[in-house]
Structure 1
Amino acid sequence: MRGNQQRGLLDVRGRDVVFVWGDQGSDVSVGRVDDGLGGSVFVGIRDWTADTFSDQPEPVDYLVDGSIEMGVPGVVAAMGDTGKSFAMLDLCRRVAFGSGPLARPVFGGRVVKSGSAVFLTAEDAYKTVHRRLHDMDPTGARFSEKGERLLVVPLPDAGGVQAFWQLGKDGMLETDAWKRLGDQLASIDDLALVCIDPLASFAHAPVNEDPAAGAFVTASLARAAAQTGASVLVAHHMRKTAKPVETLAEAREAIRGTTALVDGVRLAYALWPAEEKRAKAVCKELGRPYSPGCIVLGGIVKANGAARRVVSTYARNGFGLLEDVTADLKAAAPKQDDTLEALAFAIANAAAAGQPFTKTGASGLYQQRHRLPEPLKTMGRNRLESLADNALDAGEIVAAIAKGNTPKWLDVRGGQFAEGYGEFQPGASS
């Protein structure tokens, strides 16, 4: 940055997006590029020399550690009757009421931000929302001051669903309902999360077939996230596949519609039912009865930036909410897509169970390789320890010193040992 110039201020004028520059806010037009929406963007390219980026970069600001960033648009995709709406409501509850360090992960990590959360549901009526909040909140946090931070709007009982985006005679447009919502969101000082469920009810346009429509909607979501500073998540559907989904790549391919929807957001998290054999194995290991649809798998299938890309296992609790039980599993743990992620997954589970690994020594990865999943358990010492070094360098895992102990124990960011409150559990480590 040179002189007193200011960057990053956006002035939306009709369908044009103008970057405002200069001491007095004068526009400097040295280049015009298509913004993809029929308008143009004015950029001062000479102001963006490499020395602009000489300071230390700001750390990633997470809503859910290692998973969902603050201020970004995202998609939560799932097949029908998987439980995504309930899970998104639970995420809103945790953000609004606060989430303790011992709470189970949700959407791949631990909630690390608190603030107001808005949940708009086009499908669930007041009675359904009421039952779910009652089941999720046995301590009555919603009756305290924090209750004002959770805003749940069951649209079937609140005037009905209104389109936020629609296809007009001159192309895609944002409706007055979306603009009025934006005004209300802007008035919430501590807004941290907005969930819109489902996308199809609010987009009166062929977002599944037309890439331009999908790109328009995701650009609109991105602007809302940027202007409010909140994470903005929309629920979307996955199509049923000929064979069970096993990997994150397969889950991404199963998200309904054009690739513009996934490409246009910063984050996509998928949830899909485990196939019957795997589900029964998980239930057996957990000591729970099996029923169809009781076990669900999930993970980040797209992220613009660092993210913990592991397949998590969810089990429905007594009132139907998905709970992350990944740390409770060994034999029935889901297969991971790559060795680095598989190592982080194994280290996270071991630390959560109170029996963390070290890189070397008696508790080291190689010495305790019988506790690792394939193909890690068959790796040689040098390759396994080198993989751990790579994971440490990439920030996928961290080294922590437990109270009263000198060895460095391995954990993932946000884990109990990483946060300094880990407790060792006695017993067999197999």
Structure 2
Amino acid sequence: MCEAQSAQYSPAIQRGNPLLNLAKDHYYLSELLERKVLSSENGPILGVSSDLVVSLEETNPHVIALVIRRKWRKRKLSAAWEDVARISQKEIVLKRDAEVIPFTEAGLSPSRVLLRNLLLDKQIVDVDGAKVERVNDLHFVRLNGSLVLDFVDVGLRGMLRRLGFEDAAVRFAKWFFDYDLKDRFIPWHFVQPLADFDRLRLQIPQSKLQALHPADLADIIEDMDVRERAAIVDSLNQEVLAEALEEMDPKVQVAIMRGLEPEKAADIIEEMSPDEAADLIADLPQDTANGIFRELAPEYSSKVKELLEHEEDEAGGLMTTQFMALSPDQTIVDALNYIRQHANEMDVIYYVYVVNDQSQLLGVVSIRDLLSHEIFTPLGQIMTTRVITAHVDDSANELANLFAKYGFRGIPVVDEENRIQGVVRFKALLDILAPHLGK
């Protein structure tokens, strides 16, 4: 998030945006709308400026046309922005030879949009600050004869400017509170518009959202209304959406899943950790859950169903079955190769559990152990045999005591025969004991 005085820019912003270094002057959208438009100097009034047409083909949108609303007439006109000769406080003057033509929004190509209609008073995602903001104004710079959108104004000052109270409010805040009222600018390259989403999908890459941390993306989706949420869910790839779902409030998870076809919901769930998937499915209505189970791969479905047999706040319900288990005669090279091949499928990669042919737990090897011994050393020679374990019916509080006492990242869960059933990750426990921190 960037802050600046309305009449000048901080050095940090100047260094961060090359457009500002080249700008001769700047404008706000609120200063360009509802102004008289003259056909030429001392020429007749054509109407008032009502919107700007911008091209989304550049990194920063360029204004390509001025839309003019004619008094008492529904039909609008437009003029190319390059035909604007002068802008003053009260009027916009066109060049004498400017071509003014009828305007219809239907005639716009997919890469050209009406800026006021698209952004003003709409919600956007600030992908730098990872939150949803409301657009109060837009900031442009003049660059080589073009008008270029460089910042989105989401601050109080932008709203006051549009209402005509900016100067008075700034003076009052300084006089009464000794406070300089700041602008809050978001650089355009950190902006992901939410309004008119279908039209922008090809123009503004979803990589901006997909590059966010899953927890930040989850917060953003939770703040959206139903329509915006559906558009985002439809645009994200399954892996990114699955990671974000794992971080969301259960009520939002359920709302999203119920809005999807069973086949698509199953594809997304298969990208989730089995323990997270089990928690989500447990919260779904029975008919929705049954529809998803019919579409899940049999092996994955059986893992989830097995976890659902346990209470959510017990070790059996909290554990994941995606962990690494190798035999004692396998070497460090074998372990590293296994990690390399299966890391994307595993929920626990910081421990390798050593088991016999009956899956009984013999010991554990940490990543540090793997990296600090000769590569052909058998795991049985370096494993720790005094392993702290939990049982499938251990409560969340009992697990919390183990994590607090030993500081592990994961605790293996065994049955009465000491066969490893899964691993409880600390994050899964946190989601139960402190959901306001874990989500």
TM over 0.5: no
TM-score, structure 2 as length reference: 0.24
Q: Flag the structure with larger Rg.
A: 2
TM-score, structure 1 as length reference: 0.25
**More helix as a share of residues:** 2
Report 1 or 2 for greater relative contact order, CA contacts < 8 Å, sequence distance ≥ 6. Answer: 1
